[in-house]
Chain A
Amino acid sequence: MLLIQWKSLEGNKMEKQIVLEAKSIYKSFHDPVKIDVLKDLSFTINRGEFVAITGRSGCGKSTLLYILSTMDSDYEGELWIDHELMAGKTEAELARVRNEKIGFIFQFHYLLNEFSVLKNVMLPGLKANKLSEQELEHNAYELLKKLGIEKLAMKMAYQVSGGEKQRIAIARAMINDPLILMCDEPTGNLDSKNTEIVFDIFSELVNTFNKTLLVVTHDQNFADNTQRNIIMEDGRIIS
């Protein structure tokens, strides 16, 4: 009896598990005059969702993403990630949250040119220090293989093309098996063919591996194909 109850609870959790919750987030810049960038933003993201945030340039969507990713801690309101309140955490604790729970993918691929592709993918894992170096290397290689770029593993980061770099960045974001992947214009710098590849990878991550994705983009075509589209205007969510 008890076991059944527990199982059903677990089932419920799996169904609608809140990964990220924002409660009335305000953000303003003070330099040179006070400008309100984000006004009273509230929303939740559940496990397995593929969410796009769209809006015109300057509507505050990137600013929001930096707040959600814990890199920017200068805001008002509450941010909960995996049922933990982010406010009041130290810089080192926030870094740990980013390391373990968030995978980040940027518009510019931002690989470290001093390292090989494989090492680039492994770096967040080395920081987390939960697996041995061999296991990590194996995982990184497997990820590259899934993304079809295992041949590049031993190349230096500056030796690969733009589309390949973005796939490597995805592998790096996945290495610590994060709760949520956050992407800032992931296809903004790619041609249509590579955009398609990246989108397919994202869809597979959500559908097959039940990952949660939050993508900031102004590629409307990309956003239309996601499960949920948050549209922003002047620091507010309009739909």
Chain B
Amino acid sequence: MKVKHIFEIAKALLLARSKQTLVAAIGVAFSVAFFVSLLGFMEGLNTLLDGLVLNRTPHIRLYNDIRPSDNQPIALDSTFKNYHHFIHSIKPANARKEIYQVETIFKRLKNDSRVIGVAPKLSAQVFYNLGNIELNGVVNGVEVGQESKLFKFQDYVFGGNAFDLENRSNSIILGQGIADKMQAKKGDLIQVTTIYGEQFSLKVVGFFQSGLVELDKVQSYVSLATCQKLLGESSNYMTDIQIKLYDMDKAPELAKEYAALFKIDAEDIQTANAQFETGSSARTIISFSVGIVLLIVAGFGIYNILNMMIYEKMDTIAILKATGFSGADVKKIFIAISLSIGLGGALLGALLGLLFSVAIDHIPFNSAAVPMVDTYPVDYGIQYYAIAVIFAVATTYFAGWFPSRKASVVDPVEIIRGK
């Protein structure tokens, strides 16, 4: 018996009950459509929200931590090796936050095949001057090109061009929160005081909105050179090196390697932002389970319809068996019916899901937290369509399994004799 002929018979049986078939297929189509659009929407939001933090967080950050030396003098003296040390509350020495041999580290990292890119960073504590009020703040010195390439710096800058930081000396991109407080407009000059008491005038060339309101009340951006000037340091002074990797999961391992290699402190993204991973995966699990429940419900629909069809088609089954079709053949026919409904419904559903996704993608969404989007985010990942279709076909296969087994054991004598 050729598969083609099994499907031919299945098709004829299906067409004989075209309305029921349609209802079953629509059931599957809707579940697949909702599954796809729900997951796409959820993943789109996840990506957006995680991006708020993860996009701008380096996978590995190299810096010099301020803490007491691990090797205290008393430990070095072997005389006191077996004694109890009473010295406590040890303070760090006047350690420099500066990273030594920045050039060598840069060269080394740029040649590393696992690294996408490296961006230097500096930060300076400042006070924003508002008349006679002084507001606490942090000014970050960045290299705009690298920062944009690796951490999408430009996406968060509005009301100006990020590259103006490099092109104009003594320019600043103000955090949205602090800009509102200072009522600063583009082109204004603002005053900042460094912790060393020096005053600087900086020209506003744009505004920065991170999406985290508290942060925007404090944080602003200047070029690396301007920041070095604020700190009164030379042009190779750097406190942070930010590294972005091709494979984020390797960060903890590489952080250890770099820490040992450069004799420096290294912090990986997993340690710094563990909570984001947890949130995303929980949301994904919830939407997956809702979607799968939908598909299972559709499976029950198919089960019902097939059961009914078998009672209606007893005569057909009996005659097929009398003319030499085996129970296995009959089973295959009904499985083929079930799979056809499943596959047809799933493909229709995938198309419908795409339409739903496009519709969601056009719903306006304005949030202060995310300046760069104006409609709801949707992830069009092919994997959701694949999962939905595969799962729908699997569900319908099982939904068809039990009714088809019932059909395969129909006793033709009983049916023919019953007439």
Contacts and interface: CB of A to CB of B under 8 A. Distances in A.
Interface of A: 62, 66, 69, 71-72, 91-92, 95-100, 102, 104, 106-108, 110-115, 123-124, 126-129, 172-173, 176, 184
B2 A172 contact: no
A95 B417 contact: no
A62 B318 CA distance: 16
A91 B322 contact: no
A96 B326 CA distance: 7
Contacts of B325: 95, 99, 127
Given A99-B323, A112-B320, 19 more contacts: A66-B416, A66-B417, A69-B322, A92-B326, A95-B321, A95-B324, A95-B329, A96-B324, A99-B324, A99-B325, A102-B324, A104-B322, A106-B322, A112-B12, A123-B9, A123-B320, A127-B324, A176-B324, A184-B416
A126 B5 contact: yes
Contacts of B9: 123
B320 A113 contact: no
Nearest to B15: A114
Contacts of A115: 12
Interface of B: 1-2, 5, 9, 12-13, 15-16, 315-316, 318-329, 412-413, 416-417, 419
14 contacts: A66-B413, A71-B321, A92-B326, A96-B324, A106-B322, A108-B419, A110-B322, A112-B12, A112-B320, A123-B9, A127-B5, A128-B324, A172-B323, A176-B324
A70 to B, nearest CB: 10
B16 A71 contact: no
A126 B323 CA distance: 11
Nearest to B325: A127
Given A106-B416, A114-B12, A124 B1 contact: no
Contacts of B318: 110
Given A91-B327, A126-B2, A71 B413 contact: yes
Contacts of A112: 12, 316, 319-320
B2 A129 contact: yes
Contacts of B328: 92
Nearest to A99: B324
Nearest to B316: A112
A102 B16 CA distance: 29
Q: Which residue among A72, A108, A127, A173 has the maximum number of chain B CB atoms within 10 Å of its CB?
A: A127
Contact of A92 (B2, B15, B327, B413): B327
Nearest to B324: A99
A122 to B, nearest CB: 9
Task: Sort A-B residue pairs by CB-CB distance and give the 5 closest, nearest first.
Answer: A99-B324, A95-B326, A114-B12, A92-B326, A98-B324
Contacts of A104: 322-323
Contacts, number: 77
Residue in A69, A113, A114, A176 whose Cβ sees the most chain B Cβ within 10 Å: A114
Contacts of B413: 66, 71-72
B91 to A, nearest CB: 87
B315 A100 contact: no
Contacts of B416: 66, 106, 110, 184
A15 B416 CA distance: 35
Contact of A114 (B316, B322, B327): B316
B16 A123 contact: no
Interface centre among A102, A108, A123, A129, by most chain B C-beta atoms within 10 angstroms, is: A123
A90 B213 CA distance: 76
Contacts of A113: 16
A92 B328 CA distance: 7
Contact of B1 (A71, A114, A129, A173): A129
A106 B316 CA distance: 13
B143 to A, nearest CB: 72
Contact of B323 (A107, A123, A129): A123
Given A66-B417, A71-B322, A99-B323, A114 B13 contact: yes
Contacts of B2: 126, 129
A106 B418 CA distance: 13
A172 B325 CA distance: 14
A126 B1 contact: yes
A184 B318 CA distance: 15
Given A91-B327, A95-B321, A99-B324, A71 B412 contact: yes
A98 B412 CA distance: 12
Nearest to B415: A110
A98 B417 contact: no
Nearest to A126: B5
Contact of A124 (B16, B315, B323, B417): B323
A127 B5 CA distance: 8
Nearest to A184: B416
B1 A127 contact: yes
A127 B322 contact: no
A98 B327 contact: no
B326 A110 contact: no
B8 to A, nearest CB: 8
A123 B8 CA distance: 11
A85 to B, nearest CB: 19
Contacts of B419: 107-108
Nearest to B2: A129
A127 B329 CA distance: 9
A179 to B, nearest CB: 13
